[in-house]
Structure 1
Amino acid sequence: MFLWRDSVRRRRQAGPVLFFQEVPVTHQPPVSSAGSGPAVLSTADPEDAFGHEQAGFQQHLGPRQLQMIAIGGAIGTGLFLGAGGRLASAGPGLALDYLVCGFIAYLILRAIGELVVHRPSSGSFVSYAREFYGERAAYISGWMYWINWATTSIVDSTAIALYVKWFGQYFHWLDAVPQGLIALVVIVLVVSANLISVKIFGEMEFWFALIKVVALLTFLVVGVCFVIFGSPNGSPTGFSLISEHGGWFPNGLLPALVIMQGVVFAYAAIELVGTTSGETKDAQKVIPKAINTVILRVLVFYVGSVLLLALLLPYSSYKEGESPFVTFFSSIGVNAAGPIMELVVITAAMSSLNAGLYSTGRILHSMSMAGSAPKFAQRMNSHGVPYGGILMTSAVALIGVVLNFVVPEQAFEIVLNIASFGIIGAWATIALAHLKFVSLAKQGRYRRPGYRAWGAPFMDWVILVFLAGVIVLIGFDYPVGTWTLGLLIVVIIPR
């Protein structure tokens, strides 16, 4: 704990600096002779310099779990719940938003994938920030990311409680159960599972992702059949719906542009693939394969689903607060769609909570090993689980339980906007770390592996410019976005 306090004190005394400073590389990094893995260029190897971060972790995640973690990280509650309101605002052109944001997400995945092949680490982008820019960069990016998932844990537990309470119309005894109690039970269950072993986490994510995939595939099959053969109730389907209701952007380009700052967060958790690398068997082969499958699934599940929704009903039929899939199935008389989709959204929120506890436990462990987080975060059990960091995040999640008891109606909105900046920080860190890695490779101090990010370093700059644009859009979202952005600037910039 004293090490952490000293580290914080030193940063305050250092005065204001850039978010990311270049630091001298004091070791000669690894070079791959065959392009498939690292080999030693000199006597100092990053595996030696940063290998202590991996001490105690166990490699129990396999290809089956990694494939689903990659898919699940790219399919969040934003599609199942948020796409309805966005369709109503932006129109069918929303599919283009998902396509653009999905492409950026894939670029980020490729960048983290190359860094993972370079050096697998449970510290993920925080460890890479430390390697290429020094401890200050790791400190800022790590704590921003922790704030994201800590606040997201409040959002997720609150959302799950709200969705469970929705079933009170079918099970009246649920009306008598406090929303806060449901949130508490959810947190206890997910935390307990995370504390057992990484294998349990992997299995939970596998089944959560599978449920989401099955739900989307069911919709896609039914929707395509209706577009080809017509709706059973005789209502029109197909591209004529788009042309007859104002075209692709019926409300103009501006709403579609503004909504992009919300769409991008539908892909939150894609960076989880990097965090799992330190606990994955043969990570340097398994993770690139998992990443390569993501782009096709993004096209099918996100772009395909949103486009299909626009081909099945007029965009104005969808509304805020209701799953667009429920809207569609209800329009054809499938009343069971509501309860089924509520269950799917619950599993998506459970998946997010599960992933947040997992990733912050590993990130805090990495930071603690370098003195940038309390020493308690270093603690691990006999199964290689960093329970110290997980419990620290859980403590914040319990604040959400209190909010659910005190202000159940406002609990969701209170913390939702803060979480988004942690994701932007994580993705920017990945792009910056990869940018420096490529730069050092050009100097001959690293050799890039066979698995490489597309178009580097140009695409790294594309990612950074895009994320800067998202921040600008959030800032224009007055008053919530403007005040949140201002608050974070005051908190993050050292004085």
Structure 2
Amino acid sequence: MDQQSAADGEDRKLRKELGLWSLMAAGVGSVIGSGWLFSSMYAAQTAGPAALIAWVIAGALMLMVALVFAELGMVRPESGGLVRYPLYSNGRLAASIVGWAMWLSYVANPPSEAAAVVQYASKWWHGVYSSSAGKLTTLGTCVAVALMIVFVIINYFGVKSFARSNNIVTAVKICIPIITVILLLASGFGANHKAGGLSHNISSHGFAPYGISAAFSAIASGGLIFAYTGFRNVIELSGEAANARRDIPRAMVVTIVFSIALYLCLQLGYLGSLPSSELAHATGWHGVNLDSPFADLAKMLGFTWLSWLLIADSSISPSGSGIVYTAANARNVFGLAKNGFFPRVVMKVSDKTGVPVVAMLVNFVLGAAMMVLLPSWHDIVEVLSALVAMTFSIGSVSLLVFRNVGLGGRAQRLRGMPIVAPLAFMVSSLVILWTAWDTLLKTLIPIVIGLVWFAVSFARGNRDPGDIGGGLWLVVYLVFTYGVAALGSYGGSGVIGSPWDSIIVAIGSLALYWWGVRAGTTYLKGHERLLMVLKDRAGDDTDILSKVDPTTT
């Protein structure tokens, strides 16, 4: 039995039991995790009030990316789809790079959520977090790993058990940030003896005290991309959706629109309600560093009950997201195993629960190791955001490749995507550039691993010349983008100043995007057997299948 046949057999064991509300809960439940508890403070640290610009840009990017994957999910709903689409459209070289990078970015989610729970718990459980070192202690790391075990246990009992628990958790935790927003906006609307006031805090230090470029840097370094990425779990679970083509776009758009509104309000609340004395003592936004940002802020404002409510929610919100990410990450590794990146045993789905248990355990082991190496929410998220921007951008290429070869009917196509897809790719490329160079360097590890894996596989005889042609553009794209970043103004050598580095990446990324689309179209048209299978799965009703030779590879 070949890899695709084995994958199809395991796919059929997955249970299509997720409805619209469960998919929306998976998306929104992931968004309301650790990101909302920390990102407003770290964004303000980096950019001051100009962080509002960063939230708008990041939100617009994530909305475009969500629309891209919404169409891909309608055309080809599949668990682990995010790592499967590059394989279908551009071959194994592109899939190797994207797959490894995406996997490591995914594995970092449950540790980041567990780290957030423990960091907020330090308000009442002393000894789990060191403020001076800015990271968890040995005890705190052990507690975080134990919490990750709980995430695995909940998911072990099947997708229906996961959905029920997540629906309940999401319904509870969605109320907390809304209450927080209302109270912070009310208290910080005007200056008083506690809150500094939005206009006062902005006027006293300036809207962009560190320059507009700092707002761009905040998109990755402040954890904004991380905060928005919950929508991707809707795609990862699409193979288990009862009505994927109807519910996936709705769930994703609702998730992103809700996220944009929530995070803008939270940022406004943080900027306005922070006491001016705290800003003066810290000598500006850079110096404000709270262990439990919103809980500490509530206490300063006299909302003691809200402070304790936030401490309680700091266990609920990240834990809910950790449960969702554990489920979605297992489907991601399941997809990588179907790609042939892992042994077949990794894509084994439990006959009893319909869950890829081995994949879930593999993620847990690597996530626990990451928790030990990076025992800090901010350290994990900073690296993760740059990886997410790169891996998400590739979906824009897959979308137009699928359209060019005739995958999906008119009902499965969203309006405006020929413009939205390349625009999403360009903005994703800019986010990579705007990441601090020392952080960007760390993201090279999974990219190199992907290249080495492909080279070894190719040398051992798994050779398809089409893989090189379909994926070479991605190698050139990464060399180009990282090269400009190394020479640019965002922590690079500064040889290319701002805004010229951004202009070069914007123009160059669009040119490379169209190369990627052409290369993918040529690749997929040259693999008629694969195209035949994809058209069949997409429900295509054209007569092209009758013209395809099924023996053609």
Whether these two folds match at TM > 0.5 is yes
Is residue 80–residue 335 contact of structure 2 (8 Å, CA) maintained in 1? yes
Q: Tell me by how many angstroms 1:58 deviates.
A: 0.4
1:139 maps to 2:96 = yes
Residues 440-462 of structure 1: CA deviation (Å, up to 9, x unaligned): 3xxxx234443544532222222
Contact 1:71 1:294 survives alignment (8 Å): yes
User: How does 1:319-468 map onto structure 2 within 5 Å?
Assistant: 319-381=288-350, 382-400=352-370, 403=372, 410=375, 416-440=381-405, 445-450=406-411, 452-453=413-414, 455-468=416-429
Question: What residue is the counterpart of 1:268 in the other structure?
Answer: 229
* 2:156 counterpart residue number: 195
Moved more, 373-382 or 324-333: 324-333
- Which one of 64, 74, 77 corresponds to residue 107 of structure 1? 64
What percentage of aligned pairs have identical amino acids? 19
Amino acid at match of 2:428: L
1:483 match: 441
Which of these residues, 206, 224, 231, is aligned with residue 167 of structure 2? 206
State whether residues 108 and 427 of structure 1, in contact with CA within 8 Å, keep that contact through their aligned partners in structure 2: yes
**What's the CA shift for 1:62?**
1.9
Question: How many residue pairs were aligned?
Answer: 435
How far residue 112 of structure 1 moved from its aligned partner, in angstroms, is 0.9
2:240 paired with 1:254: no
2:238 counterpart residue number: 277
Separation (CA, whole Å) in 1 of partners of 2:337 and 2:249: 28
Residue aligning to 1:492: 450
- Partner in structure 1 of residue 203 of structure 2: 244
Partner-residue secondary structure (3-state), 1:383 = coil
List per-residue Cα deviations over 1:430-481 (Å, max 9, x = no partner). 22211322333xxxx234443544532222222222222222222x443xx1
Structure 1 pair 234/141, CA: closer, same or farther in 2 (3 Å)?
A: closer
Cα distance change, pair 330–449 in 1 and its aligned pair in 2 (3 A)? farther
8 Å Cα contact 1:81-1:345 kept in structure 2: no
Moved more, 78-87 or 135-144: 135-144
Change (3 A) 1:366 1:261: closer
Task: Give the deviation of 1:155 after TM superposition.
Answer: 3.6
CA–CA distance in 1 between the matches of 2:194 and 2:382? 42
The structural deviation recorded for 1:158 is 3.7
Which residue does 1:14 correspond to in 2?
none
Return the offset for 1:227: 5.8
Distance 2:23 2:304 in 1: 35
TM-score by length of 1: 0.77
Match of 1:12 in 2: none
Shift of 1:212: 3.8
CA change 1:412–1:245 in 2 (3 A) is: closer
**Deviations 1:375-432 (CA, angstroms, capped at 9, x unpaired):** 111212222111111111122233357x3xxx8x956677555433442343123222
Query: Gaps spanning 5+ residues in structure 1: where?
Result: 5-45
Alpha-carbon separation, structure 2, partners of 1:372 and 1:170: 41
The one-letter code matched in structure 1 to 2:231 is I
Query: CA separation in 1, counterparts of 2:450 and 2:342?
Result: 16
* Residues 477 and 325 (structure 1), Cα distance of their counterparts in 2 relative to 1, 3 Å cut: same
Q: C-alpha separation between the residues in 2 aligned to 1:353 and 1:428?
A: 24
In structure 2, do the counterparts of structure 1 residues 282 and 413 end up closer, same or farther at CA, with 3 Å as the change threshold?
closer
C-alpha spacing 1:451/1:375, structure 2 compared with 1 (3 Å): closer
TM-aligned CA deviation for residue 214 of structure 1: 0.8
More displaced stretch, 208-217 vs 381-390: 208-217
d(CA) in 2 for partners of 1:448 and 1:49? Answer: 28
CA distance in 1, matches of 2:87, 2:440: 30
CA 1:361/1:250 → structure 2, altered by over 3 Å: closer, same or farther? Answer: same
Q: Pick closer, same or farther for the CA change 1:139–1:488 going to 2, 3 Å.
A: closer
* Residue pair 1:160, 1:349 contacting (<8 A) in 2 also: yes
Cα 1:76–1:431, aligned 2, differ >3 Å: closer, same or farther? Answer: farther
How far, CA to CA, are the matches of 1:411 and 1:248 in structure 2? 29
Determine helix, strand or coil for the equivalent of 1:249. Answer: coil
| CA gap 1:379/1:410 in 2 versus in 1, 3 angstroms | closer
Answer whether contact 1:80 1:345 (CA < 8 A) is retained. yes
Partner of 2:532: none
TM-fit CA distance, 1:95: 1.5
- For residues 251-288 of structure 1, the C-alpha deviation after alignment (integer angstroms, 9 at most, x for no partner) is 32132222122322221232111111111111211222
Larger mean Cα displacement after TM superposition, 197-206 or 272-281: 197-206
Larger mean Cα displacement after TM superposition, 110-119 or 419-428: 419-428
